[in-house]
Amino acid sequence: MSTPSITRLADYRAPEFLIEKTYLSFDLNEAYTDVSSKLSIVSNPQSGKTSDLFLHGEQLELLSLAINDQPLSSADYQISREGLTIYNVPEQFVLHCKTRIYPDKNTALEGLYRSSGMYCTQCEAEGFRKITYYLDRPDVMSEFETVIIADDNAFSVMLSNGNCLSDSVVDGKRIVHWHDPFKKPSYLFALVAGNLDCLEDSFITQSGRNVLLQIYTEAKDSDKCDFAMQSLKKAMRWDEEVYGREYDLDRFMIVAVDDFNMGAMENKGLNIFNTSCVLAHPKSTTDAAFQRVESVVAHEYFHNWSGNRVTCRDWFQLSLKEGLTVYRDEEFSADMNSRAVKRIEGASFMRNVQFVEDAGPMAHPVRPDSYLEISNFYTMTIYEKGAEVVRMLANILGPENYHKGTDLYFERFDGQAVTCDDFVACMEETSGKDLHQFRLWYSQAGTPQLHISDSYDAERQQYHLHVRQHTPETPGQPLKQALHIPLKITLYGEQGAQDLIIEGKNYGEETVLDICREQQTIVFDNITEKPSPSLLREFSAPVKVDYDYQLQQLQQLVLLDSDGFCRWDAVQNLMGRVLHEAIEGDSKEPTQDALIQSLKRLLQNFSAMDMGLLACLLDLPSEHYVASRYEKADPAAISQARTHLQHQLALALEPELLACYQALAGEVAGLSAEAMAARSLRNRALGYLMCIDKAIYRGLAEQQFLHAENMTDQFAALKAMVHAEHAHIEAQHALQAFYQQWQNDALVVNMWLQVQATKPWGDVLRDVRALLEHPAFDKRNPNKLRAVIAAFANQNFSQFHQLSGEAYQFLAEQIADIDQRNPQIAARLLTPLTHWHQFIAPYGQLMKAALDSLSQHELSKDVYEVLSKSLVEN
Ligand code: BES
Ligand code: ZN
């Protein structure tokens, strides 16, 4: 392919034209759809004058074009692969354009496409240009009116954004007319037409307005919408109470579709969801999936303000809406469930996924400087690190000033398309804090490392904490500046938390240190004994901390720290040490003992603890995280050490694990937080016990599988059986029985596929190849690709990193094939191979060879960008 062009933030220019009103009409025919648009265009007073109008448009068949009802001739315009240029347009005019598109042939799932017969759209980020010629950029906001026309009786529902103005039948055609009174960019446009059932409810807003709530699904799924509806109502209430944000239209619709590249989309008044993020039923949905539904429903709803009413000026500002909205949905989930568990999950995700991205060839700042394909920038950095940046702001400012800042932001920029800097400026204005150094978090990539050491002066009763920060280089950013890092700490002595007295001021037992310089020392007075520092409490910044703890300090933190994250971090630290020693061939008794003793104490007391937290404490660090701690990682050594440790822990804690498993047998019904926590702990215990080769544990798992009352327990038992090293024939039977039972439920079948693709033993690549031929597989459906191929490549470390390199080649072949149909999904699947430089020979070389073989194919821009960036030698 010809080298695609780079889009740069520095080249941003205000649009030359604006579209004040957008009138669209869709004529849905079986074989094609005709789109007619009437755009009221004016030249933008904020921009220099030009008389040529460029409109984005891709894969469109142009049927006709007119300005102010005057048809244009072919000399008046030119069409390229990227769009349409019309020469010499007036300052103000109406453009009338007709295009023909083919939704049935749209396998990229961008623009207007069909999923199980229904029509639906996905326009973010640049999908609208596959519907009609338009200024498809987020800073062009327009008022939309949409008419949908189809044969009468073809579809039971025909939906678009906003309010329905009319619904009538003329000459055998049904015509439905929608109007969205709020100006919006084209990426928030949506259309749905299909035969769908609807769950209805209503919500009374703070100011007393009644909002109609609707969730549309295929008839077979109509019994799986209650939970999403409850979640929506909770989210609406929460946004009123916590952010003072009320819903603005009279109607809020959600539509569930099977074929969807992402999780869900916040189209104004008409959210479109991947079925995996909205459908839920106690019999067929795990607790983790319930929580996912709750958070995605909330996330998309929260976008109504953070994204829709106030949107992004350009796609470099993507984190303005995504980082802020993830922070909002995480806080919502923390309020609805266990805050400690939510925070550990967030921190763990940052470490396992975002830190890895930040250390690889695709590393980029929260506000990137350039891209080839914007779809590749819906990343962990934009989302998760972006959310951490907002969280740091909230913590630096404190809740009151933070909310004054968000109030100002929403009020000042309502109806506008703005930048990350505008957001920070509001925070600065309302708090009076100087945030200029803090802004570096938006422009500087890479994970900062804090090296912390300390010293204690008994005579002066002073404790010194020395903090040095360093951010490693990332592509295009060799030199890094010191960041403003909020480091939340507590000092534990024999008697518990100490008062923190710095320069004569007493901050109580916990404080946030503002780390702003490359090196700085903080002096604490009146400290009567050498304390154990509890560092980065609540994961107060997205950084790595290294402090050389004594084993017994870690044990103390595991058992006594009042911060859940720090307890978890202390266990992770102990586990990490055991793994490191094993990998280095230098296992030490005391480290493993310290870990075992700590876990034993916790398990013996499990009933007095937050069981969800305890479940997290039992988790081993992921292979990815362990690998990221090495300059060059040996995947086989890592997998082996980790499996060995799991086995050792199971043996050492066997009686406690069994007691815990048995004690929790009766307490597991329902969806309350306590029930979910108990299930997660009990199933963790089962997972460990199944590492031990004993028939009684296989029996427990089998009994649990057969008699489970809910999917969490049924699936945990299935997974424990299938993934056990000493799996017996009953695991095979359970897999078959599970498929028999659930073959008509696509989402459960995906779990069935996934559990097989992630099995750590046997010839899994062969199994994966066979799954691709299974009737339940569909290579056009992103959820299936994720369940088999992505799960294998991302969640099956030991099987993906085979010494033969065969799995790498397999992935490259699959990507080349998928890229023909769906470039976005293909590019995402490439991620695991891009980290080739982190692995020792021959793994790294074999991964690179797979990338090289992929580069022989004709590739989309999406895959080309990821591939070319990851092939750069460093
Ligand atoms: N706006 C995105 C969806 C999107 C992303 C559409 C990229 C097109 C391209 C949506 O708000 C979102 O962020 N969805 C997430 C889930 C969310 C809970 C973080 C997703 O789809 O994974
Ligand atoms: Zn989002």
What integer is the mean pLDDT of 501-520? Answer: 98
Give strand pairing partners of 588: none
Angle at 850 between CA 847 and CA 856, to 5 degrees: 150
C-alpha span between 147 and 174 (Å, rounded)? 10
**46-79 burial: b if 16+ Cβ within 10 Å, else e:** eeeeeeebbbbbbbbeeeebebeeeebeeeebee
Q: How far is the CA of 144 from the centre of ligand 2 (A)?
A: 22
Q: Tell me which residue has its CA closest to atom 9 in ligand 1.
A: 124
Question: In this model, does residue 667 exceed pLDDT 70?
Answer: no
Task: Give the pLDDT of residue 3.
Answer: 81
631 given a catalytic annotation: no
Q: How far is CA 530 from the centre of its chain?
A: 41
Q: How far apart are the first and last CA of the chain?
A: 25
What integer is the mean pLDDT of 711-726? Answer: 97
Task: Give the pLDDT of residue 50.
Answer: 82
Q: Tell me which residue has its CA closest to atom 18 in ligand 1.
A: 296
Strands 501-502 and 7-8: unpaired
Q: What is the DSSP string of 82-143?
A: SEEEE-S--SEEEEEEEEEE-GGG--S--EEEEETTEEEEE-TTTTGGGTS-B--STT--EE
Strands 142-151 and 17-28: parallel
CA of 295, nearest ligand number: 1
C-alpha span between 696 and 684 (Å, rounded)? 17
pLDDT (tens digit, 9 = 90+) per residue, 129-169? 999 999 999 999 999 999 999 999 999 999 999 999 999 99
354's tokens: 């975002």
C-alpha span between 473 and 408 (Å, rounded)? 36
CB 605 within 8 A of CB 597: no
Pocket probe for ligand 1: among 259, 303, 345, 378, the residue whose CB has the most ligand atoms within 8 Å is 378
Question: In this model, does residue 95 exceed pLDDT 80?
Answer: yes
- Give the pLDDT band (50/70/90) at residue 873: confident
pLDDT (tens digit, 9 = 90+) per residue, 515-539? 999 999 999 999 999 999 999 999 9
- Give the pLDDT band (50/70/90) at residue 668: low
Q: How far is the CA of 820 from the centre of ligand 1 (A)?
A: 23
- Which of 145, 218, 300, 656 is an active site residue? 300
Q: Tell me which residue has its CA closest to atom 10 in ligand 1.
A: 265
pLDDT (tens digit, 9 = 90+) per residue, 565-583? 999 999 999 999 999 999 9
Q: How far is CA 454 from CA 493, 513, 530, 629, in A?
A: 14, 15, 10, 23
Q: Ligand 1 pocket: which residues have CB below 6 Å?
A: 124-125, 262-266, 295-296, 299-300, 303, 322, 326, 329, 378, 383
What integer is the mean pLDDT of 174-178? Answer: 98
- The 3-class SS string of 358-375 reads HCCCCCCCCCCCEECCHH
pLDDT (tens digit, 9 = 90+) per residue, 240-284? 999 999 999 999 999 999 999 999 999 999 999 999 999 999 999
Range from 113-127, 135-149, 721-735, 800-814 carrying the lowest mean pLDDT: 721-735
C-alpha span between 771 and 774 (Å, rounded)? 5
Q: What are phi and psi of 651, to 5 degrees?
A: -65, -45
Q: Which amino acid is at 461?
A: Q
pLDDT (tens digit, 9 = 90+) per residue, 584-612? 999 999 999 999 999 999 999 999 999 99
Task: Give the pLDDT of residue 874.
Answer: 57
Q: How far is the CA of 231 from the centre of ligand 2 (A)?
A: 16
CA of 124, nearest ligand number: 1
Q: Which pTM value belongs to this model?
A: 0.98
Q: What are phi and psi of 690, to 5 degrees?
A: -70, -5
794's tokens: 């991302």
Task: Give the pLDDT of residue 688.
Answer: 98
Q: What are phi and psi of 774, to 5 degrees?
A: -70, 140
Ligand 1, residue 322: give the atom nearest the CA. Answer: 13
